[in-house]
Amino acid sequence: MAYTTADKAELNLNVEAGGFFHDARHDLHGEAEKQEDKKDDPACNDTFGDEEYAEVKYKVLSWWQCGFLMVAETVSLGILSLPAVVASLGLVPAVILLVGLGLLATYTGYVIGQFRWRHPHIQSMADAGEILFGPIGREVFGTGQLLLVVFIMASHLLTFSVAMNTITSHGTCTIVFTVVGLVICYILCLPRTSAKVAYLSVASFISVFSAVLIVMIAVGIERPWKGSIDATVDTSLYKAFLAVCNIVFSFSGHVAFFGFISELKDHREYPKALCLLQATDTILYIVTAVVIYVFAGPDVTSPALGSASALVAKIAYGIALPTIIIGGVVNGHVACKYVYVRIFRNGDRMHSRDLVATGSWVGIMLALWILAWVIAEAIPVFNDLLSLIASLFASWSTFGFSGMFWLHLNRDRLFSSPRKIALTILNLLIIAIAACICGLGLYVSGRSLHEDANSTSFSCANNA
């Protein structure tokens, strides 16, 4: 068959057009594959999604910023209750428990990271609870997390009023001090991303370290105890387990770890942040508890500031004000972020700066801080009630839930090798430890709550 010049030109045009459309289809197919790969990428499929063009970016934390946030959330003036813990348990048992529970908290913290790597959409304990037990687990875990964090916020407001009463020798009504603490904490909580709070956390660490150092030096110079120190002491189950609960609660920052991991630039760097936290708090706890107990003796007060002179207590509380405030700010941020993400998770508003998004953050934060203030002022024998709630949830969020996470991650190979068998036994033991802490903690906290009736609601009285 012969082709004219016109036919050949038309044929060439069709071939070129076919090649063009083939290339175009190939490019579109390649782009679709890239989008599918991006969709499957955990970095883009996590809580906050792909933030490349987001107006508000959350995944901005470096590992050291995350580590200091964890330190600020975990280590506060509660460290000064540990010398009294040593007095209740004896020097050797207390050190063994501090080291043992510190190592156990490090392991359970790492398991939380493993669970988050497997399920990158997790932002809170509620998300983890849904994976384990469905919608009921989501509500139980989420409610427990929110209750615990709000009560911790309230404890920081209360501690702020104690510090101000000590510094000013009860210069005004205690309610005024708690309101001042509320306003300061609320204002510092307003930034939506954790990066801003991370820099405050460095100041918090310097603050608590300096305050503890001053108290240790002061009791070392004054030496209020002149006798010898016994390695063990006679005690009762009630007193001993109250002391154990204090140690457990001093390692109970795990409730916020999922939220911190979700805001890391690179979630694979979480183990560095965890090691920074656990090395810092374990060393600080042991050194502080042992040194102050050795010099202050069996009659050491809780907090240990009372074992030093009134002037030293004022100085130490003044230096500790940043950690009292910032510890509350970090917990406030965790509580508000949980509620905020729960509301706006499936929309674009979470990354927006519009009036609804910004106003919602401001309103949620205000409501949570007002609730924390009401709790701090209204509930008698607040510290006992805090211990009661912490026994109910902190024992599980720090230890028990992590054991469940590991068993869920390895449910198809629990007995596949000697190593897996050993880890299965370990994690079952961790769950049993959490149950024991919860049960006995509820008993001793409830008894203490029953026996202690020494406070009034909304009182102007000096609580220092």
CATH number for 304: 1.10.4160.10
Q: Is the pLDDT of residue 386 over 90?
A: no
35 belongs to a structural domain: no
Q: Structural domain of residue 190, as residue ranges?
A: 55-451
> Where are the alpha helices (H) located in 41-90, listed in sequence order?
63-74, 82-89
Q: CA end-to-end span of the chain, whole Å?
A: 107
147 belongs to a structural domain: yes
pLDDT at residue 228, as a whole number = 80
Closest CA to 279 of 106, 92, 63: 106
Q: Which residues contact 225 (CB under 8 A, 6 or more apart)?
A: 295, 296, 297, 298, 299, 300
pLDDT at residue 445, as a whole number = 81
393 belongs to a structural domain: yes
**How many Cα atoms within 13 Å fall on the side-chain side of residue 304?**
35
- Considering its fold, how many domains does the chain have in total? 1
Above pLDDT 70, what percent of the chain? 87
129 belongs to a structural domain: yes
155 belongs to a structural domain: yes
442 belongs to a structural domain: yes
Longest dimension (CA), the chain: 119
Closest CA to 274 of 250, 289, 254, 292: 254
**Euclidean distance between CA atoms 456 and 377, whole angstroms:** 9
- The answer to which of 219-233, 236-250, 306-320, 443-457 has the lowest mean pLDDT is 443-457
User: What predicted TM-score, i.e. pTM, was given to this entire model?
Assistant: 0.85
49 belongs to a structural domain: no
Above pLDDT 90, what percent of the chain? 50
**Euclidean distance between CA atoms 451 and 459, whole angstroms:** 20
CB 73 within 8 A of CB 331: yes
Closest CA to 340 of 264, 401, 262, 398: 262
Q: For residue 94, what are its two tokens?
A: 């207390």
Q: Which residues contact 400 (CB under 8 A, 6 or more apart)?
A: 430, 431, 433, 434, 435, 438
**Tens-digit pLDDT profile for residues 241-282:** 888 888 888 888 899 999 999 999 999 999 999 999 999 999
Closest CA to 112 of 404, 337, 389: 404
139 belongs to a structural domain: yes
Q: Which residues contact 414 (CB under 8 A, 6 or more apart)?
A: 407, 420, 421, 424
